[in-house]
Chains A and B, each alone.
Chain A
Amino acid sequence: MNTDLIRSDSHLDNLDPKEYIIIKRARVNNLKNLSVAIPRNKLVVITGLSGSGKSSLAFDTLFAEGQRMYVESLSSYARQFLGRMEKPDVDYIKGVSPAIAIEQKVNTRNPRSTVGTSTEIYDYLKLLFARIGKTYSPVSGKEVKRDTVTDVVNAINKLPAGTRIMIAAPVTLAKGKKIQDELNLLLSKGFARVLLNEETFFIEDLLSSPSPRPTDTPLPRERGRGEGKKKISDKDKIEILIDRASVNAEDEDTVFRISDSVQTAFYEGHDECLVHVEGQKPMYFSDRFELDGIQFTEPSVNFFSFNNPFGACRTCEGFGKVLGIDEDLVIPDKSLSVYEGAIAPWRSEAMSEWVKPLLKNGIKFNFPIHRPYNELSQKEQQLLWDGNPYFEGIHAFFKYLESKTYKIQYRVMLSRYRGRTTCPDCRGTKLRKDAQYVKIADTSITDLVLMPIEDVLTFFSGLKLPDYDKKISERILTEIKSRLEYMVKVGLGYLTLNRVTATLSGGEYQRIKLATSLGSALVGSMYIMDEPSIGLHPKDTARMVEVLKSLRDLGNTVIVVEHEEEIMRAADEIIDIGPNAGAHGGELIFQGSIKQLNGKTNSHTVNYLSGRDTIQVPSKRRKWKDHITIKGARENNLKNLTVKFPLGTLTVVTGVSGSGKSTLIKKILYPAIGRLSGSVGEAPGKFDSMDGDVSRITQVEFVDQNPIGKSSRSNPVSYVKAYDIIRQLYADQPLAKQRGYKPSNFSFNVEGGRCETCEGEGEIKVEMQFMADIYLECESCHGKRFKQETLEVEYNGKNIADVLDMTIEDALDFFRDKKPVYDKILPLNDVGLGYVKLGQSSNSLSGGEAQRVKLASFLGKNAAEGNILFIFDEPTTGLHFHDISKLLKAMNALVDQGHSVIVIEHNLEIIKCADWIIDLGPEGGEKKGGNLLFEGTPEDMVKKAKGSYTAEFLKEKLG
């Protein structure tokens, strides 16, 4: 039931658009009149090789139509700004739901947007802390409370019944006022008595008596009028006696009277009130929000909002960073000790005056000058900055420089160490400092946002609240917890809520958006996702599948562009586009569930999934003589390893995650060799020595899946350096010469020949606030990227824009007579990129394609001289099986040209094709990892290696 599922057009017309999203005869990009009916409310995976047209179907057709229909629904006023959106090239699309694309692109560059705000978790946290957060004084650590009238009455009623009490209000003299005036005022307000040193006096007496008698009677005892006269001065502390009563909690009248009096006391005492109890210290109440002499601000939502001037940190104004001395620049290598010169500005002869006293006196205050900086305790590190009586610290040093900035050399020195540093007041959380005083279960909002999300979830799961708070926060807590759970589920438990969104990788951002979509519980939409498994640890893939399923179960259609096997297996339906890439793709090859995989088909995906297609095990392993030996590798968890790396072979370094493979290669081998050729600046990790045939290596290249250029201006043809020759070719044409064009006129990167409206981009970006950005074709060059005059120059009937629009395959044909160009672009075809266009911007290339473009630049005639050591870090991530086999081909081609390849990998397809295997393990981590388990050929490994997971799996593959 595979190929017959490709419905005939008439069948398509009769389907119910309530059950299917129906696309009839799509011709976008390389799609070949593709018709497909995608079932609603299902998890559908669209797969295929790189460049087969799966993104054209998912994004350029489905999503583009969804977006266009949204725009259609806007008012004509709003539409005039966006009206130029084109309908995808398709007969019709029926049943499109509101489309939400979750792409691997970080759309925000706003420095204020964080993981917390973009997931809305922070909004709920603000609310939570504003409602149930308790403020604690940083001085005494006691809770800051405002005493309400009820609090005071309750306290009084707790006293034994019949206890005699006095309610009083303290009098504060306003500046310049005399006590006599104040007393007169009180008298006229109707108060009769005051308390002076806890004794009661009639106000009249205090005012009239010239020499009051001292009294020895303790309080509270009333004196007769005229008794106990006292001379009063401005310095005396007096209290207005508001009321006297005896406690009787049962009697409503008494309680009412007391409340009334307390109210009056707060009024007269400017929010302060005292309750004197016989034989006890007076009880003090304050209606103000203060403690230990500090006036606190009562928490509110704005108080925790760093985008609001009220809540923003005063020091950094809500940016989290300040311009200061950057610790990473001052101490660039934290594995050095102070003695070895950890403090960079003090290394020079002249500045060593600053470090000398520390080295000399360190012993006096027990400072370990020989211990690496990163092993010093936090206190000791701080001491280096602050200094002590024996030496002046780093802070003092920079103060000194600042005082001498009239000297150019100090100005430049300062500039060298200045950078954006974490704000010391808010610890980078952008919040005002006193927001940290508000806590729930001894944890402040700043503590929470600085914790990894996993820990935040643990905190909220174990949170025990008093009943009252529980009631208030119930709803908020549910929202917070569910969002945190989704974040952990999509494998982002390691992020902090404070992490700035703009610094996230594309995959992380995509998964955040996914988690947010789940949280919003939107129903009936169409989610379109681009390879959500990228950058995900295999152990997290299963949880990712769960998330996708729950999104579907909410009632959404989930369409995923993906070639991760596990996700394909979980799909309700797989749509395979192919059979090959580019012009040889764009057809629907297979549609159906994984169970329907049988029968003969030309689908690479099906063939690999069903095990019919495999990557061939090479019959012969390459022999080698030359090698490099690393001795005594001890970085991280490596256990003093001595490892031989053969040259002129395909070597695979393998082992479980955390076994130390990356440490050995990326931290030791790569920098150690790179330093010899001067291409790598970083210092290698700990090891004793490197010997062997190091001199055979002329260069070391680290190949990763990072895009070959982040800008839309880099492209395959410029990366393999063929574009320079092509430009020269165009500049040599008669018309170009006649007009005096230089090669630079044929570049879209510099001014001259390019279209200036779009600055050679060919398209103009329109930022949409709540949707993905829209790219519109440039109106003045119609996407050609060049000025009309430039385009008039032709070579063999094609202008420069036509050339950029050619596929590599076509270009090989076109440039057959131009040997230099031909030779440069041939390798691109060899690595299987024949379908890619010469001028395709590199940010539209997939990771796998980018990797192969990089390889192509080293392949081919005269491309790379000497013997290069290539290091690959997990090159198969995100690659379709078929692409893996192409990659292997390219790697072997490099080895055949005399280069050496070392691959860090746990993909068995690659391991089984290795000439030499280096296996680390047996487990991950500090204790169980870091041992060398095996060195040798795959065949030997199966025979000899025991206790290695890799060997177990390899056995199956080699059969």
Chain B
Amino acid sequence: MKITSFAKLAVVLSVLILFITSCQVGRFVFRNFANITDYRIFPSRPLHNDSVKFTFQQASQARFPKTITDKTQHTVNFERYLEDNKSVAFLIIKNDTILYEKYFDHYEQESIVASFSMAKSVTSILIGCAIDDGFIKSVDEPVTNYVPELKKNGFEKVTLKHLLQMTSGLDFNESYVNPFGDAATFYYGRNLRKSITKMKLKSEPGKNFEYVSGSPQILGLVLERALKTKTVTAYLQEKIWKPLGMEYDASWSLDRKKNGLEKTFCCINARARDFAKIGRLYLNKGNWNGKQIVSEKWVEESTRVNPADPGANFYRYQWWLPSATGDYMAEGILGQFVYVNPAKNMIIVRLGKKYGDADWPNIFMNLAKAY
């Protein structure tokens, strides 16, 4: 009797598991929204670098603050603070020299961490490259030049710039807790191209800033169409992964295995040191040891506020501007950061399992002041 009821339960459970892993809602319930190990569950395209590797100089002695003042004004040990706030990697680089590099919670230099929304900034770099290469004419082109399917939804007035600036007026639910929200659809969904063509507008483009993952994903499709024969990942490898001498191979997660589209709003899976190199590229205004990877003008436009443009004064072309002093950063949902401070010639990378109870941008700014 006991055994049969147990067997019944097992059957019900397995059916349930089958159901919930087979659709996006189910996967959401099963896995919750996001986790830094998610790259294992998604199909992906690999990124290789078989040419020369670039390594930062390594300081013989680490230089970092002993203590840090936390929100409650208590002085706590710096490394303890990083660890307690769920960091897995923390790098401080100044003058091309790694002054501090530490991994926590069994993570190490070789550990892969998902970029989450930092991928948006990378997508933006690729748009810049595509303009330099002539695949895209300008940021003022309407998105419908590349995705004509969106005409039926009234996207004729939406330009690439609107998408880059997060001022497209897109009707997109960015909630990370709602399994029926658009963010979940994009994260777990298996047909991004179709999802994109279903998108609608809720307000006039070019007016309001709203941070939505839909915009960079549309840019992903634009990129794919503009590149024609190349995949977005192949373009990243050609334009950035190889020329920047990335130390490790990486990958970009796709919506599905066969003929998938890169999740350009999230999900480049790489190592901390290689993320730092993205920061170095912009620190050097798009130039990598003498070779211009992306035009200086593009870097400038992406990181400096232009009062003439509508939108937020703290956001440009998929990069965040945490202060008005010229610094900028890429940020991911679980507190993944590549922070760049040109005045101090500094790059700070923080990767984490969770955001933690910390004001990271402020910590970066204060660290930059201290170095």
Query: Could you list which residues of chain A lie within 8 angstroms of chain B, going by C-beta atoms?
Result: 315-317, 319, 322-323, 332, 344, 347-350, 406-409, 411-416, 418-419, 749-752, 756
Contacts and interface: CB of A to CB of B under 8 A. Distances in A.
B117 interface: yes
Contact of B333 (A348, A408, A412): A408
11 contacts: A332-B324, A350-B209, A406-B177, A407-B174, A412-B322, A412-B331, A419-B362, A751-B58, A751-B97, A752-B57, A756-B60
B290 to A, nearest CB: 13
A750 B57 contact: yes
A319 B73 contact: yes
B313 A347 contact: yes
A416 B97 contact: no
* A interface: dominant SS: loop
A317 B73 contact: yes
B186 interface: no
Contacts of B311: 348
B96 interface: yes
A105 to B, nearest CB: 20
A416 B209 contact: no
A752 B97 CA distance: 10
Contacts of A750: 57, 95-97
B312 A348 contact: yes
B8 interface: no
Contacts of A332: 324
Contacts of B60: 751, 756
Interface of B: 57-61, 69, 71, 73-74, 95-97, 117, 174, 176-177, 207-211, 310-315, 320, 322-324, 331, 333, 359-362, 365
Given A350-B208, A408-B333, A416-B322, A323 B310 contact: no
Contacts of B333: 408
B57 A412 contact: no
A778 to B, nearest CB: 15
Contacts of B177: 406
B211 A416 contact: no
* B interface: dominant SS: loop
Contacts of B313: 344, 347-348
Q: Which 9 A-B pairs have the closest CB atoms?
A: A415-B361, A409-B211, A350-B208, A317-B73, A751-B57, A412-B320, A750-B95, A756-B60, A415-B322
B326 to A, nearest CB: 10
Nearest to B94: A750
A665 B73 CA distance: 42
A348 B209 contact: yes
Contact of A414 (B58, B211, B323, B359): B359
B209 A409 contact: yes
B362 A418 contact: yes
A319 B75 CA distance: 11
Contacts of B73: 315-317, 319, 322-323
Contacts of B323: 415-416
A349 B208 contact: yes
Contact of B315 (A344, A407, A409, A418): A409
A332 B331 CA distance: 26
Contacts of A412: 314-315, 320, 322, 331, 361
Given A348-B311, A751-B59, 18 more contacts: A315-B73, A317-B74, A348-B209, A412-B314, A412-B315, A412-B320, A412-B331, A414-B359, A415-B360, A415-B361, A415-B362, A416-B322, A416-B324, A416-B361, A419-B362, A750-B57, A751-B57, A751-B60
Nearest to B360: A415
A317 B316 CA distance: 39
A406 to B, nearest CB: 7
A102 B21 CA distance: 75
Contacts of A415: 322-323, 359-362, 365
A323 B310 CA distance: 31
A317 B72 CA distance: 9
A411 B314 CA distance: 11
A407 B331 CA distance: 12
A415 B314 CA distance: 10
Nearest to A322: B73
Contacts of A317: 73-74
A344 B312 CA distance: 11
Contact of B176 (A347, A406, A409): A406
A316 B75 CA distance: 12
A315 B333 CA distance: 31
Give the one of A316, A317, A752 with max B CB within 10 A.
A317
